[in-house]
Structure 1
Amino acid sequence: MLDKRFSFSGVKLALFCEGQVLTILRDDIKSIPFPNFWDLPGGGREENETPFECVAREVYEELNIRLSPEQIAWVKAYQGVVDPDQTSVFMVGELARSEHEAIRFGDEGQGYRLMPVDDFLTDKQVIPQLQERLWDYVRD
């Protein structure tokens, strides 16, 4: 599914670094979905991108990280959050400490941090659908 071309709305990626997950605090703007919530890197599909092309572009724009397909360990399609008629893709991957230390945060969101997995799965300020998807991975 990583390099397959099909209709999907976007991709979110749980990037693990030394047992924690990389999170982004969304802007606190009332007009966006889930303002001021902890999110995962990723976003909407552009043109005819594959899921990997989409997530690689988004992660580069948001964090200045260049992903390789080998970093992706798990992929699953879900019903879309913003548009339930669309498919969205959820991925899990690994991030080296050196890549985390080299992050240059973009202009979307208030900041980023590594969050313990248990905190991500239980915090009331994390997007609930992303918690559910990460639970699927943890249980798999």
Structure 2
Amino acid sequence: MGQTKGRIMQDFGGAKLILFIGDRIVVLRRDEKPDIPWPGRLDLPGGGRDGEESAVECVLRETVEEVGLSLTPSDLVWQHQFERGVFFAAHLPTDAQAQIVFGSEGQGWLLVDPADYVRDREAIPHFAAMVQRYLDHAFG
């Protein structure tokens, strides 16, 4: 796997995935619920840890639940620790878009240019910063 910031801690809270489909990334529109963080904002696939699962297990499970795509650990090309979360990146071919099945959380999904996500005022700011960090690493 690519860049790692130290060892991934065992008490992380959740994991997120910068999921490329071709040259765009999968972005989810969060629900408009006042009791959740960042309601209505543009999110990345991923979520909270279940039980004692690893960060990799967490992000792979959440990706299936949220967009219906089954990835393997070898699909994850980068990881980075941020506070209590772990971010990953993966690249799938353009035709993987046809396999996306939106899950039960959020208002919908879209594919966006990653640089546009970084600049979008509706993007969750620390997620946008992590996308930029990956872009700098992978394409800088």
Scaled by the length of structure 1, the TM-score of the pair is 0.88
Match of 1:131 among 128, 132, 139: 128
Gaps spanning 5+ residues in structure 2: where?
none
Match of 1:9 among 6, 13, 34: 13
AA at the equivalent of 1:93: A
Count of residue pairs the alignment pairs up? 132
Match of 2:48 in 1: 44
- Per-residue deviation, 1:18: 1.4
Match of 1:84 in 2: none
For 1:15-34, what aligned pairs fall within 5 Å after superposition? 15-34=19-38
Work out the CA distance in 1 between the residues paired with 2:79 and 2:10: 14
Q: Which stretch of structure 1 is more off in the superposition, 91-100 or 47-56?
A: 91-100
Match of 2:71 in 1: 67
Conserved 8 A contact 1:5-1:48: no
Work out the CA distance in 2 between the residues paired with 1:45 and 1:6: 11
Scaled by the length of structure 2, the TM-score of the pair is 0.88
AA at the equivalent of 1:136: R
- Per-residue deviation, 1:5: 7.4
- Per-residue deviation, 1:40: 0.2
Match of 1:122 among 105, 119, 123: 119
| Sequence identity percentage | 35
Conserved 8 A contact 2:115-2:132: no
Work out the CA distance in 2 between the residues paired with 1:100 and 1:131: 22
| RMSD across aligned positions (CA) | 1.7
- Per-residue deviation, 1:96: 2.5
Conserved 8 A contact 2:21-2:96: no
Structure 1 stretches of at least 4 aligned residues deviating more than 6 Å after TM superposition = none
Work out the CA distance in 2 between the residues paired with 1:41 and 1:59: 6
AA at the equivalent of 1:56: L
